[in-house]
Amino acid sequence: MMKTIDDLAVDGLRVLLRADLNVPLDGGRVADDGRIRASLPTLTALTDRGARVIVCAHLGRPGGKPDPAYSLAPVAARLGELLGHPVELAADTTGPAACAAVAALRPGGGVMLENLRFNAAETSKDDAQRGLFAGQLADLADLYVSDGFGAVHRKHASVYDVALRLPHAAGYLVKAEVGALGRLTANIRRPYVVALGGAKVADKFDAFGSLITAADRILVGGAMAFPFLVARGDKIGTSLLEASQVAAAADLLKRATPGQIELPSDIVVAAEPGGSGAVVAADAIPADQMGLDIGPQTAARFAAALFPAQTVFWNGPMGMFERKPYSGGTRAVAQALADGEAFTVVGGGDTGAAIRALGFAEDTFGHVSTGGGASLEFIQGKTLPGLAVLEQS
Ligand code: ADP
Ligand code: MG
């Protein structure tokens, strides 16, 4: 059984809290604070109970060395705003500044360590190297709490190895994610409809394959649609496509039951992302134009397909929602989920950001997952190292 923080005595103890604070930045400010907000319940529960909390997290891919562009300073600032008091950021992760900050912690207080990925050992494939770093992290604390769901599919020092070295438990976010995503792996209420989109297409094909087994219908939008359109013989102009994906899409079409995979019938196109869009049939994208959103007919079809669903998983925006002319498809899917009765799970960092940017309240949806890759691996039934290690005592 996975223990949670409710099973731990924390009063006065130093708790190393691994959070997922990997948020998008825009000019040195946090552009979407969804992951920071999602980390608050565990953090405040621990401080309310008198723990001395040491928050650790990563931001972006600094490449294993300190880089001010990837400092957690903007995240610490935003966290402080949300908590109503400043959050101190130690200048390093396991060095003298971190040790001094931890030594100065009082019960009920908190400090954040600098970006874990400033240290190459955090993500190293070498067990000994990771273990050394995890040992240094463990030396800072008495207990370890795992709440960074977005990273639990990674065998990283702060996610996996440190849990081998300290008494540990899951935080409320990890518990909520496991509970909600679990409803997509067993005893699924049907019809189960999946909407897949976004731009990280290759990363999602594995999950797509297992969703063919699990889901009744799969609605495909975003740049995810293009390899499928090419596989069935359409030309897609200058739309985003990696040629290697076409064979994988053709294979998925072959494996699916007839009608199980639904592709766009119309597409919003433009010569470049800046322009205002025009709607064309999906099999008639002009050679010099790119597809940037599903068209209104497709949006209506997808909404109709989502309406009778009892369970929905949505990963990946239906278009380049960041620009208004291409946000209609994503908005239509979000609205259909808001109107429907289904238990809905929204996965994917950008998908969560999209619903917030489009003004939908998170509690409109059954669960908004903070983990993109982690949620996709979870629903495939894979073993996630950062969860498996919590099962061990
Ligand atoms: P998630 O983080 O939710 O898993 P992805 O990272 O796969 O989603 O993709 C999100 C990105 O996909 C968004 O930035 C969006 O602009 C982009 N996108 C969606 N549709 C298209 C498209 N037709 N062409 C180019 N980019 C697209
Ligand atoms: Mg993304």
How far is ligand 2, taken at its centre, from the CA of residue 255, in Å?
26
**Looking at the predicted structure, is the pLDDT value of residue 229 above 90?**
yes
User: Is the Cβ atom of 292 under 6 angstroms away from ligand 1?
Assistant: yes
Predicted confidence at residue 312, as pLDDT, reads 98
Of residues 104 and 362, the one with the higher pLDDT is: 104
What one-character DSSP code corresponds to residue 74?
H
**Residue 26: CB atoms within 10 Å:** 9
Instruction: Indicate if 84 belongs to the active site.
Output: no
Predicted confidence at residue 300, as pLDDT, reads 98
Instruction: Indicate if 204 belongs to the active site.
Output: no
**Looking at the predicted structure, is the pLDDT value of residue 246 above 90?**
yes
Cβ-count burial 112-145 (b if 16+ within 10 Å, e if not)? bbbbbbbbebbbbeeeebbbebbebbbebbbbbb
**Looking at the predicted structure, is the pLDDT value of residue 139 above 90?**
yes
User: Is the Cβ atom of 289 under 6 angstroms away from ligand 1?
Assistant: no
Rounded average pLDDT over 303-317: 97
Instruction: Indicate if 200 belongs to the active site.
Output: yes
pTM of the model: 0.93
Q: pLDDT tier at 389 (50, 70, 90 boundaries)? A: very high
Which atom of ligand 1 lies at the shortest distance from residue 203's CA? 7
Asked if 319 and 222 touch (Cβ cutoff 8 Å), the reply is yes
**Looking at the predicted structure, is the pLDDT value of residue 365 above 90?**
yes
What is the C-alpha to C-alpha distance for residues 59 and 71, in angstroms, rounded to an integer?
7
Task: Of 145-159, 226-240, 349-363, give the lowest mean pLDDT range.
Answer: 349-363
User: Is the Cβ atom of 349 under 6 angstroms away from ligand 1?
Assistant: yes
**Looking at the predicted structure, is the pLDDT value of residue 315 above 90?**
yes
Predicted confidence at residue 185, as pLDDT, reads 95
Rounded average pLDDT over 364-387: 95
Which atom of ligand 1 lies at the shortest distance from residue 352's CA? 3
**Looking at the predicted structure, is the pLDDT value of residue 243 above 90?**
no
Best CA proximity match to 278, nearest among 326, 220, 332:
326
Q: pLDDT tier at 275 (50, 70, 90 boundaries)? A: confident
Q: pLDDT tier at 221 (50, 70, 90 boundaries)? A: very high
User: Is the Cβ atom of 198 under 6 angstroms away from ligand 1?
Assistant: yes
Predicted confidence at residue 43, as pLDDT, reads 98
Predicted confidence at residue 160, as pLDDT, reads 98
**Looking at the predicted structure, is the pLDDT value of residue 66 above 90?**
yes
**Looking at the predicted structure, is the pLDDT value of residue 27 above 90?**
no
User: Is the Cβ atom of 223 under 6 angstroms away from ligand 1?
Assistant: yes
**Looking at the predicted structure, is the pLDDT value of residue 362 above 90?**
no
Cβ-count burial 218-230 (b if 16+ within 10 Å, e if not)? bbbbbbbbbbbbb
How far is ligand 1, taken at its centre, from the CA of residue 372, in Å?
12
What is the C-alpha to C-alpha distance for residues 336 and 297, in angstroms, rounded to an integer?
14
Average pLDDT of the chain, as a whole number: 96
What is the C-alpha to C-alpha distance for residues 219 and 196, in angstroms, rounded to an integer?
6
Rounded average pLDDT over 127-143: 98
Rounded average pLDDT over 317-346: 97
Predicted confidence at residue 339, as pLDDT, reads 94
Rounded average pLDDT over 37-62: 98
Asked if 298 and 265 touch (Cβ cutoff 8 Å), the reply is yes
**Among all chains, which residue has been given the structure tokens 């919003």?**
268
How far is ligand 1, taken at its centre, from the CA of residue 326, in Å?
11
